[in-house]
């Protein structure tokens, strides 16, 4: 799952080291438009449903946080 | 009561003394009392509105928390399917309660702020159908209703989304609603940050106090030296624009941009500084907006807390709504990956800019103001791949310095045009002003008539230009990473010299006194 998430992140924004990034949102690596693009792609890929409640920086700041959020949504 | 008045200075001083010497437990109640006094001085009995609105939100948010707790206690005993069903039910109940909270808050806003506007629209329609008209209803607008409605609605939505626990102390929540430094012009509050600072509230130390004083003085300089002078000149132009040509129109438009930026950011500096005296850091509302390379970036640096609020509660909510998900699935047929994910945003952005326009005021021109930015941003998104191709073909380095400066200038031009629409008395006036700049191009432009008609001397204009230049230099250094507050905290003697110099400059060059009527803070009227 982790690899796929990194692949999607890189398709949205090239040349960013998402794997080692510790504050993807707080450092401005992704903007609000990118987050909508990302959630659309993640929802398709992992068959999960996002709500506005999930769209908080803590859920998107690291690849691990994104992975954890998708696992929780899939439950 | 204006933030630049003897009354406000006395209130802040007394509040600070009481706050400083009061026991820890009482500090927040002193702030609450001062906030209520400030509110009553400005809006008298209308204080009942934020008090009642907060009370409703307080009880209903606690109710949402209880619904959540009941679900969490039950969910461990349920199977996966049952849990899904219970989650759905739980979500429905919470949504219903939250809808009541939001509808109630915005209904109050609509009644008190927009009643005149709505009555006008109804009359226009009924008159065109020869049905006569109803009396124009216009109520006294309670202080800060546009700001506190957003703050308290944001709190209610955060509790509904589960990112915040409902507050158990009503006085604390009321203080968040009516806190006197942020009630008039914002910044729009975030309860999580406000509440955690209130919990750690303490006697302010000397460093925090001095930081507060420094920020206040900086804000006073912006307002009293630049904004008020530029405002007089800009008002003269906008009130008589039909007399002037190209050069004057351009000068008038730029002077208004200077006026509104230093007026609004000056006010925010003053209130952030005052709040700092009580150990509460209010969120930043401006981050060198005129260094933005695109309109989207401008709105991430200008009135930041409004932009954040709209992003968090409107853009994300609409983007994740059922209708938008349907649009997303329809757009799946688009082969181009970029447009497949970009087109659905146009729907959410329409709500964002419509809200932004309406929030600013009760006139069609504000709606047009929102539409103006909506068109620019959508056009930017549509043509982005084309721009990329053109730049690649012309071998333009998009990351280069020259292209960066071009983008900053382009954004500034678009923003100044937007601000002209914002300030013009009507859409018709705006079109005429823009025509005089872009169509008629009359270089003679009666600039000497304009200059002679303004109640300002040449020295006043020199002061505006010099201080705007100084502020631009400070912004440029900040943009490059200079931390002025931090530097002066380490160089105490320099800080004393700076503060003394600022006080002297304000006394000597600030506009005040009986011969001058201070222009009210522009954003206080929203």
Spell out the domain ranges in chain B: 6-203, 204-282+446-526, 285-436
Contacts of A11 in chain B (CB under 8 A): 337
For testing contact with chain B, the best of A15, A55, A60 (most B CBs within 10 A): A55
Q: Taking the CA atoms of B482, B483, B485 and B488 in sequence, report the sign of the dihedral they define.
A: negative
> B166-170, B208-212, B264-268, B483-487: which has the minimum mean pLDDT?
B483-487
- Specify the pLDDT at position B397: 82
- C-alpha B512, offset from chain centre: 26
- C-alpha B71, offset from chain centre: 37
The topology (CATH level 3) of A2-74 is 1.10.1200
- Specify the pLDDT at position B30: 94
- Specify the pLDDT at position B526: 61
How many Cβ atoms are within 10 Å of B161's Cβ, its own excluded? 21
B235 pLDDT higher than 80: yes
pLDDT tens for B405-441 read 999 999 999 999 999 999 998 889 999 888 887 766 6
Please tell me if residue A41 touches chain B, with a CB cutoff of 8 Å: yes
CA–CA gap between residue A12 and residue B341 (Å, rounded) = 10
Q: What is the nearest CA distance from B132 to chain A, expressed in angstroms?
A: 45
| Look-up of token digits 């160089």 | B491
CA–CA gap between residue B184 and residue A1 (Å, rounded) = 48
The three-state secondary structure class of B286 is strand
pLDDT tens for B188-202 read 989 999 999 999 888
Contacts of A33 in chain B (CB under 8 A): 342, 345, 381
pLDDT tens for B16-68 read 999 999 998 899 999 999 999 999 998 888 899 999 999 999 999 999 999 88
- DSSP at B204: P
CB contact under 8 A, A52 and B337: no
- DSSP at B311: I
Q: Name the residue ranges covered by the structural domains of chain A.
A: 2-74
- DSSP at B141: P
CB B419 within 8 A of CB B290: no
CB B353 within 8 A of CB B374: yes
- Specify the pLDDT at position B440: 63
For testing contact with chain A, the best of B295, B299, B319, B325 (most A CBs within 10 A): B319
B122 pLDDT tier (thresholds 50, 70, 90): confident
Is ipTM strictly over 0.90? no
């Amino acid at each position: 799952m982790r690899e796929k998430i990194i692949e999607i992140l890189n398709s949205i924004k090239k040349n960013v080291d998402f794997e080692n990034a510790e504050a993807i949102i707080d450092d401005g690596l992704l903007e609000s438009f990118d987050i909508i693009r990302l959630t659309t792609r993640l929802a398709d890929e992992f068959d999960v449903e996002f709500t506005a409640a999930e769209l908080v920086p803590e859920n998107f700041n690291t690849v691990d946080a994104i992975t954890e959020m998708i696992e929780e949504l899939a439950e | 009561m204006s933030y630049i008045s003897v009354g406000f200075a006395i209130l802040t001083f007394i509040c600070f003394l009481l706050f400083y010497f009061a026991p820890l437990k009482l500090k927040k109640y002193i702030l609450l009392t001062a906030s209520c006094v400030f509110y009553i001085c400005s809006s008298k009995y209308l204080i009942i509105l934020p008090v009642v609105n907060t009370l409703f939100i307080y009880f209903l948010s606690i109710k949402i928390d209880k619904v959540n707790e009941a679900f969490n206690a039950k969910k461990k005993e349920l199977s996966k399917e049952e849990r899904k069903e219970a989650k759905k039910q739980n979500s429905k109940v919470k949504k219903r309660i939250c809808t009541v909270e939001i509808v109630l808050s915005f209904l109050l806003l609509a009644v008190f702020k927009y009643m005149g506007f709505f009555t006008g629209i109804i009359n226009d329609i009924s008159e065109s159908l020869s049905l006569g008209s109803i009396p124009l209803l216009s109520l006294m607008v309670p202080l800060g209703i546009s700001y506190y409605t957003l703050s308290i609605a944001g709190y209610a939505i955060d509790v509904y989304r589960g990112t915040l626990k409902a507050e158990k102390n009503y006085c604390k929540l009321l203080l968040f609603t009516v806190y006197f430094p942020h009630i008039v012009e914002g910044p729009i509050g975030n309860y999580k940050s406000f509440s955690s600072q209130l919990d750690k509230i303490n006697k302010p130390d000397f460093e925090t106090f001095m930081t507060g004083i420094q920020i206040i003085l900086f804000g006073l300089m912006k307002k009293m030296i630049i904004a008020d002078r530029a405002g007089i000149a800009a008002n003269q132009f906008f009130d008589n624009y039909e007399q002037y040509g190209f050069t004057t129109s351009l000068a008038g438009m730029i002077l208004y941009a200077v006026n509104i930026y230093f007026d609004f950011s000056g006010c925010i500096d003053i209130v952030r500084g005052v709040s700092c005296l009580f150990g509460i850091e209010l969120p930043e509302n401006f981050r060198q907006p005129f260094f933005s390379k695109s309109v989207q970036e401008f709105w991430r640096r200008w009135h930041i807390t409004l932009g954040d609020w709209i992003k968090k509660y409107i853009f994300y909510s609409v983007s994740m709504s059922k209708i938008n998900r349907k649009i997303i699935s329809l757009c799946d047929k688009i082969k181009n990956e970029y447009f497949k994910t970009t087109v659905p945003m146009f729907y959410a952005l329409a709500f964002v800019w419509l809200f932004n326009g309406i929030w600013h005021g009760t006139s069609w021109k504000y709606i047009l103001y929102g539409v103006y930015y909506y068109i620019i941003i959508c056009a930017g998104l549509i043509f982005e791949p084309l721009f990329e191709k053109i730049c690649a073909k012309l071998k333009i380095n998009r990351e280069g310095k020259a292209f960066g400066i071009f983008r900053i200038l382009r954004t500034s031009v678009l923003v100044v045009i937007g601000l002209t629409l914002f300030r013009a008395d009507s859409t018709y006036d705006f079109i005429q002003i823009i025509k005089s700049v872009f169509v008629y191009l009359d270089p003679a432009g009666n600039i000497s008539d304009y200059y002679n008609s303004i109640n300002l001397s040449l020295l006043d204009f020199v002061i505006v230009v010099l201080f705007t230049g100084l502020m631009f230099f400070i912004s440029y250094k900040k943009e490059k990473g200079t931390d002025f507050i931090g530097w002066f905290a380490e160089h105490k003697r320099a800080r004393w010299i700076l503060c003394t110099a600022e006080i002297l400059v304000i006394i000597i060059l600030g506009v005040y006194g009986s011969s001058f009527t201070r222009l009210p803070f522009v954003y206080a009227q929203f």
